[in-house]
Structure 1
Amino acid sequence: MSLSIADLAELRQRLTSGFGPIESEVMAEKAASLGYHGRQVEKAMAALQAFDAAPGTADERLILVKAAARDVWKFFVQREACGMRDQRDAIRHYGIPPEVLARLGAIEK
């Protein structure tokens, strides 16, 4: 059995990268999901900032805070799935306020 140039190139890629095609696909999916959830956190923080610039009722703000907490929680879970356990940089980068962080993991009916 002879190997083609394409087979040799694929084998070389596997040996040098340490990842096979399935592992590469999983990593790509994790990265895409992390990016998606990061954008959701950005939107939630922007919504809170916009509300604070032209405030409404406390109930309206509470709805935004709860939604932001859900988005941040999902983002943190995805970061942890990617091996990033320390959330301090993300909290600073996205400007996540303490009132949102206090609600992480809280389930309200």
Structure 2
Amino acid sequence: MSFKTPASLLSPALHDSVTPLDLELAGEKADALARAGRKAEEALETLAGARGVDGTPIEALRHAAADAVFCLMIQRELCGLRNQGDMIRRYAIPADVMSRVGIVRRG
């Protein structure tokens, strides 16, 4: 993915401190954050859709959603976004999913 330099970073004073590699890394971080957000949204939608259906392994869906949310949280922290409260509200993450975030399961 190519990343175009913002006009605010083109000033001569900042030109020496921001390299093309820095810009490429920023673009990759943003892309990874977007992918993690989409995966979390998909997992949460799948879980929400399965709540009314009988016979669905709801625990497996909760764990999958918790794993996707955990990946999103880590990616947000890598991008410098430390407050997870706004993410929890934006994605409407249920408490039963948040209680499983970060838990390592065997099997």
Normalised TM-score (structure 2): 0.82
> Which of residues 54, 65, 70 is equivalent to 1:73?
70
- Aligned residue for 2:5? none
Query: RMSD across aligned C-alpha pairs, in angstroms?
Result: 1.7
- Asked which structure has the greater CA Rg, the reply is 1
Seq. identity, %:
35
Q: Which has the higher helix share?
A: 1
Cα distance in 2 for residues equivalent to 1:98 and 1:56: 22
Q: Which has the higher contact order (CA 8 A, sep 6+)?
A: 1
- Aligned residue for 2:89? 92
Contact in 2 for aligned 1:14/1:20 (Cα 8 Å): no
Q: How many residues align?
A: 96
Q: What runs of 5+ residues in structure 2 fail to find an aligned partner?
A: 1-8
Q: What runs of 5+ residues in structure 1 fail to find an aligned partner?
A: 1-11
Runs of 4+ more than 3 Å apart: 14-18
Normalised TM-score (structure 1): 0.80
